[in-house]
Structure 1
Amino acid sequence: MSQVVLITGASSGIGKSIAEYLVTKGFTVYGTSRNPKSDNLNGVHLIPLDVTKSETIKTAVENILEKEGKLDVLINNAGKGITGPLEEIPEEELKSVFETNYFGPIAVMKAVLPTMRKHRKGLIINVTSIAGYMGLPYRSAYSATKGALSLTTEALRMELKEFNVKVTNVAPGDFATNIASGRYHAPLLEDSDYAKNYGKSLSLMDEHVDEGEDPMLMAKAVFDIINTKEPQVDYKVGAFMQRFSTFLKGVLPGKTYERLLLKHYQL
């Protein structure tokens, strides 16, 4: 029997690439989006699920278990971006990004864990971000959500060890996707004291995404993780310098690392 995979946020970008690649490798894949336009795309079973709405999570997981009798792998991929000077980001937008990027993945994990514990088998892959390993200017909220999910994963691994349920992070760098189009941007206000540097940072962010890696790199990395008997705590996928930056964060003095970031973002 093929392994059954549930991947959230599978209608575009990295999620879509992972889902379609796993289908070619013989997996039974259920991909979610808030409003799927069809129920099957390139072999991926598309089902409605909004990670901020618990009833849709419950329904989706119950339907998969009814059809397949099991759920082997959860890939928590759904998320959204947010940019802006922290002072100027509306409180409701800060709460919204945490609902999607942090509390949403937790809700999906809670929904699948009972069946994984029952079968003493399962794998959860949380898609975080290299941005979650460091506080980035004008991306403070995004870095915070991904960092929080990464640390939660580290703790959850130990809690689930006795049930043989594996949990890991995979942190992508910049990939050539449409993530920028769905990102919340705090308005670039001409009379704001942040206008010059925020505008410069926005242009750099979009440039990095446009020049990002092929999402297929993430798909192949996830496939390799699924086929690893004992997954690592975390994996970093992307351009060498982005991955290397997380190493530098751990070995350089804080102010030295901060100067590198300031230079990178031309601040």
Structure 2
Amino acid sequence: MRQKIVLITGGSSGIGRYIGLHLQSKGYKVFGTTRNLENYPEFSDFQLIELDVRDNTSIARALNDLIASEGCLDVLINNAGIGITGPIEETPEAEIKKVFDTNFHGPINMARAVLPQMRKQNSGLIINITSIAGYMGLPYRGIYSASKGALELLTEALRMETKDFGIKITNLAPGDFATNIAAGRYHAPANSDSPYYKSYSKSLAIIDDHVKEGQDPVKVAEMVFRIMNTKNPKVHYKVGSPMQKFSLVLKKILPDKLYERLLLNHYKL
């Protein structure tokens, strides 16, 4: 049986790396992407290729090389993403744009680039890694929530548009997992003269604690493997702590203002 080819954006660290290692152990041929190969001279977990999801020229070059080498692409995992925190009023416009260019436009760019090959194969799977945060507007994480929520909705539309081509598309929304995402996240400065200083500083500490106390990222990798071996994947999947998943149930059944109060209490606002 032919070894299936998997491409994971943002595969050099964090959840992407865990996914790659797990899938490789299951017999898949894994390629991960990074914006700059020079930063990973000793990376040997699986093959890394240079690709920037914000740059269509970079995407085309990398995919052309991959298809020429392997002849096909079975699975695209849109994992590349960046975090951001801060009061919406005080978050620089350039930083907001950067997040959407990576978290939302990046997966669109990748999907548009791989769909012709998958349509030619009459097969393929795209898994968009979103976030449980994308199901609700979280205080001081509104930009991040919006970028991931937008990707969830886009996936719903793209599934219907591509249903006749043998291509499967789904979302996987993780909760908090113990990775290095906090180190790479943009934090709007908590200036002491800001009207948001007290509440933002308090929330930021809680947000960082959530990541530090997060679950083992291998659980996300195991869910990806399950999805890849599901004949007809669902539209949405979630993986996280029982409380995080239960929060989504509460959002569906509680009045908006009551749910908002729960979030305010959770973030001690």
TM-score (norm. length: structure 1): 0.98
Alignment of 1:42-191 (within 5 A): 42=45, 44-191=46-193
Q: Distance in 1 between matches of 2:152 and 2:19?
A: 20
Match of 1:265 in 2: 267
**For residue 266 of structure 2, what is the amino acid of its counterpart?**
H
Q: Distance in 1 between matches of 2:92 and 2:36?
A: 26
Match of 2:44 in 1: 41
Match of 2:3 in 1: 2
- Between 1:87-96 and 1:128-137, the stretch displaced more is 87-96
Alignment of 1:241-252 (within 5 A): 241-252=243-254
**For residue 29 of structure 2, what is the amino acid of its counterpart?**
T
**For residue 131 of structure 2, what is the amino acid of its counterpart?**
S
Deviation of 1:212 after TM superposition, in Å, equals: 0.1
Q: Distance in 2 between matches of 1:245 and 1:93?
A: 28
Q: Does 1:13 align with 2:35?
A: no
Q: Match of 1:123, SS? A: strand
Q: Distance in 1 between matches of 2:205 and 2:261?
A: 20
Q: Distance in 1 between matches of 2:47 and 2:64?
A: 15
Deviation of 1:8 after TM superposition, in Å, equals: 0.2
CA displacement 1:44-76 (0-9 Å, x = unmatched): 110001111111111111111001100000000
**For residue 220 of structure 2, what is the amino acid of its counterpart?**
M
Deviation of 1:39 after TM superposition, in Å, equals: 8.3
Q: Distance in 2 between matches of 1:160 and 1:229?
A: 16
- 1:215 aligns with one of 195, 214, 217: 217
Q: Distance in 2 between matches of 1:38 and 1:164?
A: 38
Match of 1:254 in 2: 256
Kept in 2, the 8 Å contact 1:13–1:177? The answer is yes
Q: Distance in 2 between matches of 1:60 and 1:259?
A: 47
Deviation of 1:250 after TM superposition, in Å, equals: 1.0
Q: 1:98 to 1:45 in 2, by over 3 A?
A: same
Q: Match of 1:95, SS? A: helix
Deviation of 1:244 after TM superposition, in Å, equals: 1.1
Q: Distance in 1 between matches of 2:252 and 2:162?
A: 27
Kept in 2, the 8 Å contact 1:138–1:201? The answer is yes
Q: How many residues align?
A: 266
Q: Which runs of 5+ in 1 are unaligned?
A: none
Q: Match of 2:168, SS? A: strand
Aligned-residue Cα RMSD (Å) equals: 0.9
Q: Distance in 2 between matches of 1:165 and 1:40?
A: 31
Q: Match of 2:127, SS? A: strand
Q: Which runs of 5+ in 2 are unaligned?
A: none
Report sequence identity in percent: 61
Kept in 2, the 8 Å contact 1:38–1:46? The answer is no
Deviation of 1:6 after TM superposition, in Å, equals: 0.4
TM-score (norm. length: structure 2): 0.97
Deviation of 1:40 after TM superposition, in Å, equals: 5.8
**For residue 4 of structure 2, what is the amino acid of its counterpart?**
Q
**For residue 12 of structure 1, what is the amino acid of its counterpart?**
S
Match of 1:229 in 2: 231
Kept in 2, the 8 Å contact 1:81–1:180? The answer is yes
Q: Distance in 2 between matches of 1:40 and 1:258?
A: 44
Q: Match of 1:41, SS? A: coil
**For residue 260 of structure 2, what is the amino acid of its counterpart?**
E
Q: Distance in 2 between matches of 1:40 and 1:140?
A: 34
Q: Match of 2:137, SS? A: coil
Q: Match of 2:173, SS? A: strand
